[in-house]
Amino acid sequence: MTSLQRRVLFVAICSSCLVILDASAVNLALPAMMRELGGGLAFQQWVVDGYLLTLGAFILAAGSVADRYGRARVLGIGVIAFTATSLVCGFAWNDWVLVAARLLQGTAAAVVTPSALALITASSDGPVRARMIGLWTAWTSAAAVAAPFVGGAAVDLATWRLVFLVNVIPAALMWRPLVQLRKAVPPPAPSGRLDALGAGLAVVALGGIVLGLIEQGARGWADPIVVVCLSVGVVAGIAFAVRQRVAATPMLPLSLFRERNFAAGNLSTWWAYGALGVGFFILGLYLQQRMRLTAFEAGLGLLPATLSLLFLSPTAARIGARIGPRLPMALGPGLGAAAFAWIALETPPLNYWRDILAPVILFGIGLSIMVAPLTAAVLNAVPVTSSGIASAVNNAVARVASLVCIAAAGGIMGGLLDDVGFRRGMLATAVLLAASAATSAAWIRNPKAADGTSAGAGSAVVGGTEEHD
């Protein structure tokens, strides 16, 4: 890696970790927030969901803006906004000031998320890109592991406000390299007008769908607010697709979906991240409610899966770069499907060490094999000039899939988390992962280099390059 690529990797990891930490660390601090600021269940819900709502709603528009005006420039704006809103969260003087700040913080996170990974794609190719994506995956996984501990430690040792105020440290550390990147990587010259109408429709579409799915958990599918939100989101989504077909300079060129690996990779992402969301949601509840583990013990029980991702992702990325993405993207979720089917076939009452630990480790290995090659396959399928919007699409697919499947968890389990409902949930998760494996096996293609040899998952292959089985 060159010095420029090392700076890119450092900035991408730090900025992504900012977003991941604040998405998860807040959960354990909610009771302390309520004790100090007041508010009830609605306040606690919106501290979490307000962030997810604006992050999901603005991510496509942010990815398009990053491609148009420069990823380093847009990322810098996002980091400044994220840090400022974190300070407002940390010094919030009442409950709804905190909620308003979280809504703005989610918007800033939407600006940061696609730009970080797009910087890696734009600055590298071949095995170097694969290595950078693998390291990015490993470190962001470490942030996901650390987030609950950061939240718990802040509450136990100091104050919940530290969950937000600590964001100043990584933001300060990455600022100088980010300024250097802005000078070293000039922004592209914009061509045509920004598709403001398309961006607005994308915000309404994703915002309506995400808000409807969030509210469904408390209100149910038949509630008028849920129906209106989902209906508005779907109608806006259709209007967005129509707009992209006729716009002179579309925000999301629909031609990207004609690239086989981009379309298939996002479909595989849908199945896999839907499974990840609902599977760990149900398993986490079962460990606490039926197996009588504490929340901390349940978190430790699921830790082996994330640790596998942390330590194995760089190796999986290098292997994927050599052999191509098809096998890792099929094998990884296939192992995950076997892991959840294994849990489903266990005979209650379950014991963690006997019945849960080994399948969790197997799932972690499968996830490690899949994630970095999947990310590389999706981004390598499109031109570098579209890497911001491509990253945004993949992130949006993952987040919405997880929300949809978690919202359907009650129906999957039959409305009750007993042993039968748990088994249904585990089998449904296995089916979703099997669908991801089948999608990748059937439709993902290993790119072919210009000389006819296999280019592997890490090559800088853009749309239109010949592919082979």
Query: Treating both helix axes as pointing N-terminal to C-terminal, what angle do 295-323 and 357-380 enclose, rounded to 10 degrees?
Result: 40
Q: Which of 140, 182, 139 is nearest to 23 (CA)?
A: 140
CA distance 140 to 24: 12
CA distance 175 to 71: 14
What is the reported pLDDT for 195?
84
Q: Which of 387, 358, 395, 349 is nearest to 64 (CA)?
A: 387
What is the reported pLDDT for 191?
60
What are the phi and psi torsion angles at 324 (to 5°)?
Answer: 95, 165
Provide the b/e sequence for 330-353 (b: ≥16 CB within 10 Å): bbbbbbbbbbbbbbbebeeebeee
How big is the chain by its Cα radius of gyration, in Å?
21
CA distance 199 to 63: 10
Q: Token digits for 40? A: 């009830």
* 3-class state of residue 248 by DSSP: coil
Helix (H) or strand (E) holding 467: strand 467-468
**Vertex 81, ends 171 and 64: CA angle to 5°?**
105
Q: Token digits for 23? A: 């998405």
Tell me whether the omega of the peptide bond preceding residue 148 falls within 30 degrees of 0, making it cis.
no
Q: Which of 192, 193, 188, 196 is nearest to 61 (CA)?
A: 196
**CB 107 within 8 Å of CB 58:** yes
Tracing tokens 């939240």 back to the chain, one arrives at 151
List the chain pLDDT tens, one digit each, 469 residues. 788 889 999 999 999 888 888 877 787 788 889 889 987 777 888 888 889 889 989 999 999 888 888 888 899 999 999 999 999 999 999 998 999 999 999 999 999 999 888 888 888 887 888 889 989 988 888 787 777 777 777 877 888 999 899 889 889 999 888 888 887 766 666 566 778 899 999 999 999 999 998 888 778 888 999 999 999 999 999 999 999 999 888 888 899 999 999 999 999 999 999 999 899 889 988 988 889 887 678 878 888 888 888 889 889 988 988 999 999 999 999 999 999 999 999 988 999 999 999 999 999 999 999 999 999 899 999 988 888 999 999 999 998 898 888 888 888 888 788 899 999 999 999 999 999 999 999 999 997 754 455 544 333 333 333 344 4
Per this entry, what is the length of the chain?
469
Q: Which residues pair with 448 in a beta bridge?
A: 454
Helix ranges restricted to H, 124-167: 126-157, 162-165
**What single letter denotes the amino acid at residue 436?**
S
Query: Treating both helix axes as pointing N-terminal to C-terminal, what angle do 260-289 and 419-443 enclose, rounded to 10 degrees?
Result: 160
What is the reported pLDDT for 92?
94
